[in-house]
A = this chain, B = another copy of it.
Amino acid sequence: MNPAPILVCAHLDERAQRLLRESVPGDQLRFVPRAELRPGHPVLAAAEIAFGNIPGPLLAAAPRLRWMQLESVGFEYYQDPAHQKPGLVITNLKGMFEWPATETALGGLLALARGYTELIPAQAGRRWVELEVRPRTWTLHGRPALVLGAGSIGRRMRLLLEAFECRVQVYARSSPDATVRRPEDLPAAFAASEIVVCCLPKTPATIGLIGRELLRALPPSAVFVNIGRGAVVDEAALVEVMHERRFRGAVVDVTYAEPVPPDHPLWSCPNTIVTQHTGGGYADELLDKARCFLANLNRHRAGQPVQNQVDMARGY
């Protein structure tokens, strides 16, 4: 009897697909673009293993599925109780975006602090703007900071900010690293911070957590960065507060709608950089996703537990 097919619906490039084909013998792999999956699809019906984010409503159409390796860190798509599938093991790419996401966050902070948002357009116009830009620059060095989230990205963010001699507070519900644990303590923490970096996942406890009140609590010298999930921030409130020019700037990697529509007010918010969900990216990321799946597949075949199983109840 042939082994059950492995459904691969992850977005992969040619190199990543080739690696999978070279690493999995026989014809067990079935590449099906996510958009083509629907109830009754034979691969969906037969697969015991999947690599890629099968849409939650389709999980009921995959009766034999035992393990799904996500192509993301986020797994908020599977938290809807209607789509829970008892016995299904879900693993994510925990840790894979630690460096690219923190480097995008830090790059955005430095782009605002060191004037890159003015220098890059000036260069395109061959305009020497030293005397205008230089007095507006500032440094991250030693500023009080607040990191929201203590996952791999939040932890790395804290360490990088500490290299700038920032005093860093950490907000998390249960991590031993946390210095702020209760949402009701966030207004004081925002008011005391000049750098705030949100690295929170989307969970029932984080949706809309950062609203008008918190953003208005920031001091005039503050910069707010969201590298976590768009849903954690009240986007209309962020747009409004940025137009009030109450603090220095914002860096927004994640948004309600991705792509951000051309007529969206975020594009033209003052002192705001929209990084278009490039934060987790790097040239080899699709190859590395395939490597992560293969490493877990080898564990699975050796009878070992697969790594980075997500815990729906805890939300990470």
Chain A positions near chain B (C-beta within 8 angstroms):
13, 99-100, 103-104, 106-108, 110-111, 113-117, 119-124, 126-130, 133-141, 159-160, 162-164, 258-260, 262-264, 267-268, 273-279, 281-283, 285-286
Contact = CB atoms under 8 A, between A and B. Distances in A.
B141 A103 contact: yes
Given A103-B139, A110-B110, 16 more contacts: A100-B114, A103-B113, A103-B141, A103-B164, A107-B116, A111-B116, A115-B281, A116-B275, A120-B273, A121-B121, A121-B124, A126-B263, A126-B264, A127-B262, A137-B281, A138-B282
Contacts of A107: 107, 110-111, 113-114, 116
Given A159-B163, A163-B160, A267-B126, A119 B274 contact: yes
Contacts of A274: 119, 123
A77 B120 CA distance: 30
A274 B118 CA distance: 11
14 contacts: A100-B137, A110-B110, A114-B275, A115-B281, A119-B273, A122-B276, A123-B267, A126-B262, A128-B258, A128-B259, A133-B278, A134-B277, A135-B285, A137-B278
